[in-house]
Amino acid sequence: MVAVTDVPAAMVSNQFFDEFTSKVRVKPIPWEGYSRAGLITSDELHQLKDFQKQHSQLVDCSESDALSLATHVPLLVSLIEKLSSVDALQYLLVVLDELAERDLGCVHALASDMDTVSRVLFRCMDKKDDYLGLKACKILTGIAVTSNVEVAFDRMFAYLEKSMRSELTSVVDVALQVVQSALRVPRARSILYGEAPGCLTQMVDVLKRTVGGRTGAGKGVVAVSQTQYEVVFCLWLLTFERHVAVTIDRKYDVVSTMVEIARSAVKEKVVRIIVATWTNMAQHSANVPGLLVARVPACLETLRVGRNFNDEDLKHTLTELTDTLAEHTGIMTSWDEYVNQLKSGKLEWSGWHRSEQFWKIHVAKMDENDHRIVRLLARVLMAPESSDTSVAVACHDLSQYVKYNPEGKKFVAKVGAKQRVMQLMTEGATAEVKYEALMCVQQIMLNAWRN
């Protein structure tokens, strides 16, 4: 599998984006006019002409000659700060990005005046020009990855969240690639997950839309498989952070989506990055219930037996992860499966929930470990991320607990579940939730010993 350090610093590959960049390079800019209008000084115009002459020879320059262009970085940054023309700003960011990609000295020059550089780049993001904003994000990301400087990732992710809402698939594609590069930085992972949840929510939404085979419409059509790869790659990078790995599925329900994608994915690289993400998650025992409930073992078996992959590492990882999860599935009882479903926070209707025999046999277990199961059911009721089905099932299961446990209603009230269920009778999002909440309240009100 690919190591985190192998993620490109800020490499963006998009046909529409590249074609637009080529047009920006040759588009005439009235620099003399800006000088006559007093927007730039005559000295700045002279320096710019000198830079353009050297830059035009950049391809043929030796490394030592290329390094000398770093002295022009302050000029370019100053011009970006002074000018407001989108055409001029696009040109300046293109040449600045080229210098940063080619010359580490230019990156260091940018990093040495990070306050000014950040200010002018975020100003470009405010221009309401997709190309300009994304190019600014790319440059900012390159600086953050290459130099040990503080970057306002929260502001950048807020901009990229808006970009991912675009109807142009190329804009979404470039935004995802920039996030992918930024997540090489551990601090960026923590900020995306903890301080910019809107951006991550939008990324997951983009991923879930691809399950239906669509990523949007507009210029620069991007293959569905490429979008899937980019989003899951970001999820994989996030799962290197333990606090993210153990909670991301509960918050964003990504495992079940990856299962759907893996089953139908044509591109081997998509399967590879999905399996790598599950492998990271499986290292934490708290994730195992969710992986089991989402039927990951069955998916792995289908991939392992039904597909002939060329990647030997992928074959090995499939077998290894299958064996790891098999240790948890081999001796599971119906109660174990129920507990795993409950731990995942994703309850679904099944034979267990409707079986009187199941509750009669297992109701005593719900009080073990300081009423752990009852507390988990209460958590499902309270959690804002719980689905309507999960809430309805939790109401039903609590009613069964009260029905078969004479003292059950006291503890249901103690953990706050009774109050929540009573709220859901009138405020439930669906008719099913309201009905199950009503049945639960009725059961609570009955004398348990008569049942």
Tens-digit pLDDT profile for residues 52-76: 888 877 655 555 444 468 889 999 9
What pLDDT does residue 2 have? 42
What pLDDT does residue 9 have? 55
The residue ranking higher by pLDDT, 237 or 334, is: 237
Distance CA 296, CA 309 (A): 18
Interval 385-407 mean pLDDT: 91
Most confident of 246-255, 289-298, 335-344: 246-255
What pLDDT does residue 427 have? 86
3-state secondary structure the chain: CCCHHHCCCCCCCCHHHHHHHHHHHHCCCCHHHHHHCCCCCHHHHHHHHHHHHHHHCHHHCCHHHHHHHHHHHHHHHHHHHHCCCHHHHHHHHHHHHHHHHHCHHHHHHHHCCHHHHHHHHHHHHCCCCHHHHHHHHHHHHHHHHHCCCCCCHHHHHHHHHHHCCCCCHHHHHHHHHHHHHHCCCHHHHHHHHHCCHHHHHHHHHHHHHHCCCCCCCCCCCCCHHHHHHHHHHHHHHHCCCHHHHCCHHHHHCCHHHHHHHHHHCCCHHHHHHHHHHHHHHHCCHHHHHHHHHCCHHHHHHHHHHHCCCCCHHHHHHHHHHHHHHHHHHCCCCHHHHHHHHHHHCCCCCCHHHHCHHHHHHHHHHHHHHHHHHHHHHHHHHHCCCCCHHHHHHHHHHHHHHHHHCCCHHHHHHHCCHHHHHHHHHHHCCCHHHHHHHHHHHHHHHCCHHHC
Nearest residue to 9 via CA among 118, 143, 135, 132: 143
What pLDDT does residue 447 have? 45
pLDDT at 30 over 50: yes
pLDDT at 448 over 50: no
Q: Please, what is the average pLDDT of the chain?
A: 88
pLDDT at 38 over 50: yes
Tens-digit pLDDT profile for residues 358-372: 888 889 999 898 899
Tens-digit pLDDT profile for residues 172-231: 999 999 999 999 999 999 999 999 999 999 999 999 999 865 444 344 456 789 999 999
| Banded pLDDT at 1 (limits 50, 70, 90) | very low
Nearest residue to 347 via CA among 400, 414, 302, 412: 400
Interval 243-272 mean pLDDT: 93
What pLDDT does residue 78 have? 95
What pLDDT does residue 217 have? 39
Distance CA 340, CA 230 (A): 30
What pLDDT does residue 206 have? 95
pLDDT at 48 over 90: yes
pTM beyond 0.85: the answer is no
**Lowest-confidence range among 3-7, 263-267, 325-329?**
3-7
Distance CA 127, CA 84 (A): 9
Interval 7-20 mean pLDDT: 76
Here the tokens at position 44 are 């700045």
Tens-digit pLDDT profile for residues 120-156: 999 999 998 999 999 999 999 999 999 889 999 999 9
Tens-digit pLDDT profile for residues 94-125: 999 999 888 888 999 999 999 999 999 999 99
Distances (CA, A) of 51 to 146, 217, 358: 24, 40, 78
pLDDT at 93 over 70: yes
What pLDDT does residue 4 have? 55
